[in-house]
């Protein structure tokens, strides 16, 4: 494991009587696509703002790219797409990127070349001359993504990067995140769209009531694999054999009286799949379908957050 690119220890933020972040302790490593998950009001955006130096922590410590959080020179190596993606909307898309190039201290030539490449990447080249205020929500989010990537950052913070995007836009963002990972860029992703997190992130941390409560490497959810089976009528012996390999989670749903039976089995390891198939076939049970159904991130989210959570 490489040295952490982002590291925080007991970071806390209090606004008057309200505690926005109670204890943020996490590590994100170089090249990782890291998901930051939690319900509304869990302190995710305040946490990101603390990491970016936009909000001063009340207590605790943290570093980004080896420097204390908010360090000025280090900020040149950080990209940020804010949740509400508001920009100087009287500028055109291209002008917005040129202005940010100046903020970053980039040369004029480099900024122009980089701006054109990024506008093309986010499919906004033909709208580059239009004021940002004439953009749709999705276009604004895409130009925001371009400004976040302008300085070839080592770390990119994306706060709800696809909230305003249609499915094609989401795919585009997903592809951009993949490209960033391939280039070794660390991505800190805050998103409510769990399917997107599942598709892009290597690891997630769950945060609740301002505390980091669980860290999870995706693909290791719950340490188990669930298998959906469609089989002929099960004998007691076959059922017992299956139960020896894994745990029967759902049992017996059939569409017709003599039709195939549906079964969901949780097995501790994926390499037990052939054994499960053999146990059925050897006992003469017809196997119509066998499909791995990993536990979804959504299910894990609900489990981690607890049943007392209310919609935010």
Partner 1 sequence: MSVAHGLLAVTRLTLYEAFRKRILMATLIAGAGFLTLYGLGLHFMVRGEAGGMALVERRVFLNMLTLAGLFAANFLTIMTAVLLPVDTLSGEIASGVIQTVAVRPIRRRDIVLGKWLGHWIVMAGYFGLLAGGVLTITFLRSGFTPPKLEIGLPLILLEGTVLLTLSIAGGAKLSTVTNGMLAFGLFGLAFIGNLVEQIGTMAQNDAARQVGTVASLIMPSESLWQLAAYHMQPSVIRDLGNSPFSPVSVPSVAMVVWAAGYIVVTLALGIRWFGKRAL
Where do contacts with partner 1 occur on this chain (CB under 8 A)?
15, 49, 52-56, 72-76, 78, 80, 82, 84, 86-88, 90, 99-100, 102-105, 144, 147
CB nearer to partner 1: give 88 or 269: 88
- List beta partners, residue 263: 229, 251
Shortest approach of partner 1 to residue 48 CB, angstroms?
10
Q: How far apart are CA 83 and CA 36, in angstroms?
A: 13
- List beta partners, residue 304: none
CB nearer to partner 1: give 84 or 183: 84
CB nearer to partner 1: give 65 or 227: 65
Shortest approach of partner 1 to residue 214 CB, angstroms?
27
Cα separations (Å) of 232 from 13, 177, 265? 58, 44, 15
CB nearer to partner 1: give 41 or 284: 41
Shortest approach of partner 1 to residue 203 CB, angstroms?
24
Shortest approach of partner 1 to residue 7 CB, angstroms?
19
Shortest approach of partner 1 to residue 208 CB, angstroms?
22
CB nearer to partner 1: give 74 or 190: 74
């Amino acid at each position: 494991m490489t040295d952490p690119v982002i590291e925080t220890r007991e970071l806390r933020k209090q606004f008057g009587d309200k505690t926005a972040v109670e204890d943020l302790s996490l590590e994100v490593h170089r090249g990782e696509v890291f998901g930051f998950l939690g319900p509304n009001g869990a302190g995710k955006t305040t946490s990101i703002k603390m990491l970016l130096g936009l909000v001063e922590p009340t207590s605790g410590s943290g570093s980004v790219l080896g420097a204390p959080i908010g360090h000025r020179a280090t900020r040149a190596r950080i990209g940020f797409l804010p949740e509400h993606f508001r920009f100087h909307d009287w500028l055109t898309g291209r002008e917005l990127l040129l202005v940010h190039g100046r903020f970053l201290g980039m040369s004029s030539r480099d900024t122009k070349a980089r701006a054109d490449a990024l506008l093309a990447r986010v499919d906004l080249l033909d709208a580059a001359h239009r004021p940002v205020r004439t953009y749709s929500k999705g276009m604004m989010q895409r130009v925001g993504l371009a400004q976040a990537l302008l300085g070839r950052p080592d770390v990119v913070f994306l706060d709800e990067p696809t909230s305003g995007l249609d499915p094609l836009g989401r795919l585009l963002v997903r592809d951009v995140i993949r490209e960033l990972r391939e280039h070794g860029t660390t991505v800190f992703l805050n998103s409510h769209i769990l399917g997107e997190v599942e598709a892009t992130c290597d690891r997630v941390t769950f945060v609740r009531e301002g505390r980091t409560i669980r860290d999870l490497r995706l693909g290791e959810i719950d340490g188990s694999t669930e298998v959906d089976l469609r089989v002929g009528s099960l004998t007691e012996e076959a059922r017992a054999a299956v139960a020896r390999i894994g745990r029967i989670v759902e049992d017996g749903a059939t569409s017709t009286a003599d039709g195939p039976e549906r079964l969901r089995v949780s097995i501790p390891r994926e390499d037990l799949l052939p054994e499960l198939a053999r146990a059925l076939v050897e006992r003469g049970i017809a196997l119509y379908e066998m499909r791995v159904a990993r536990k979804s991130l959504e299910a894990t989210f609900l489990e981690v957050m607890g049943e007392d959570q209310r919609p935010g």
